[in-house]
Amino acid sequence: MQRRHFLRSGAALTSLSPLGAALANGEAAPAVTAGARPPFSAPGALAPVRARPDRLIDIAVCTRPFRPQGPRIEAERRHGRTIVHNYGHGGSGWSLSWGSAQAALPLILATREKHVAVVGCGAIGLTTARVAQRAGLRVRIYAKDRPPEVRSSAATGVWSPDSRICTEEHATPEFMPRWEAMARGSFKVYQSLLGLPGDPVEWRDGYVLSDLPFDQPLPPPAIEDIEPDYPDLESRIRDLWPRSQLLQPHQHPFAVPHVRRYTQMMFNLASYSRLLMDDFMRDGGEIEQREFAHPRQFASLKERTVVNATGYGARALFGDETIVPVRGQTARLIPQPEVNYNLIYRGHNLVMVSRREGVLVQAQGERDFGDDSTAPDRALSEAAVGRLAQLFA
């Protein structure tokens, strides 16, 4: 989530980037000519969320690895090994994982090694391992943790290819086409995963709620905003999702005056991570539990090509202080299969994503940017659940 956009422009959530331009620009519903099919079917009755703190079953914290320059995808020689770096995706790790792995593959293949090590078993590590396997390589993953203990398992689970991916000053003419290729490459792979058992990937409708008209800016935050400016990248891939639609009061059940309906791709991370793990093992992959304190330890590995997919861990492991931690906290309510929609409450720091493994409620603190703390704040999540309950009053 990009806090600056959430608070100021009303884009609400850059991890809901298909909606960002619509909200920021006050996009009007497309005109419907006589006899034409409307862009959305009439909304059916929405089941209310049973939003109570006693239904909380899990609270998780992740540290998103933001780099102002964008992801590091490059190779270097060190300690007798070729190290291919693939980390620093901010809040876009799951969303860009396939395209990022495809961008790293030529660097891996250039070593001409048939056996490859991948360090890290999160979104980027698992996906890079799968792409390398598909290229005919033998892959072993080395990791301290595996899903669901990895940081990326605590993500919101929505397709957010431009969420804290770089700062505006680094969105150069060289960077933007690379980002677009990664976003489109990932999107194409995700469409091939629709309809699989467990629904690892699916499309969901959602609703953005607002106390103010969408073309009216929100008040400035009470606390000084320390985040940088982020570029507008989503316009480059605007053809990949439907346009949002402004609803009338009689078309929704929410206790707010302004509502937009949108459609977005999302991931059920429990089943999706299991799918990646099962496919990796089925194709001969191996996983070895191991923790690295210094890159010189790579010299002891059997493989001479090593992919560094450690995410935020690269800050300590490689001394990369360009990585900025961005704290994120999610909480899960007991699953409600009848709740088949997502919610954003604009200006109230509230996001709800209904996944198969539970109703996910995300809330931010006042200063998540630059915060590397990982202790859960139950009061923060309980307050978010309370705000969610009020929407169904």
Q: According to the model, what pLDDT value does residue 24 have? A: 41
In a domain, 11, yes or no: yes
102 and 148 housed in the same domain: yes
What is the band of 9 on the pLDDT scale with cuts at 50, 70, 90? Answer: very low
Domain that holds residue 84: 72-155+270-317
Residue at a domain's end among 282, 317, 352:
317
346 and 255 housed in the same domain: yes
* pLDDT at 354 > cutoff 70: yes
83 and 222 housed in the same domain: no
Q: According to the model, what pLDDT value does residue 226 have? A: 82
Tens digit of each residue's pLDDT (9 = 90 or more) over 294-320: 999 999 999 999 999 999 999 999 999
What is the band of 343 on the pLDDT scale with cuts at 50, 70, 90? Answer: very high
Query: Please, are residues 353 and 160 in contact by the beta-carbon 8 Å criterion?
Result: no
In a domain, 176, yes or no: no
Residue at a domain's end among 285, 317, 349:
317
What are the angstrom distances between the C-alpha of 128 and each of 12, 25, 80, 160, 220? 31, 36, 22, 19, 40
Secondary structure class of 98 (helix, strand, coil): helix
In a domain, 195, yes or no: no
Query: Please, are residues 108 and 117 in contact by the beta-carbon 8 Å criterion?
Result: no
d(C-alpha 274, C-alpha 199), whole Å: 11
Q: DSSP string spanning 193-233?
A: TBT-TT-SEEEEEEEEEESS-TTSPPPPPSSPP--------
57 and 95 housed in the same domain: no
290 and 241 housed in the same domain: no
276 and 264 housed in the same domain: no
Q: According to the model, what pLDDT value does residue 97 have? A: 98
* Rg from Cα positions in the chain: 21
235 and 366 housed in the same domain: yes
88 and 235 housed in the same domain: no
Tens digit of each residue's pLDDT (9 = 90 or more) over 26-80: 444 444 444 455 555 565 689 999 999 999 999 999 999 999 999 999 999 999 9
261 and 345 housed in the same domain: yes
The predicted model gives 266-285 an average pLDDT of 97
Other beta carbons less than 10 A from residue 163's beta carbon? 30
The predicted model gives 165-171 an average pLDDT of 96
Query: How many domains is the chain partitioned into structurally?
Result: 2
- Secondary structure percentages of the chain, helix, strand, coil, to 5: 30, 25, 45
Percent of the chain with pLDDT over 70: 88
330 and 253 housed in the same domain: yes
In a domain, 198, yes or no: no
49 and 97 housed in the same domain: no
CATH number of the domain where residue 384 is located: 3.30.9.10
d(C-alpha 331, C-alpha 339), whole Å: 16
81 and 151 housed in the same domain: yes
* pLDDT at 322 > cutoff 70: yes
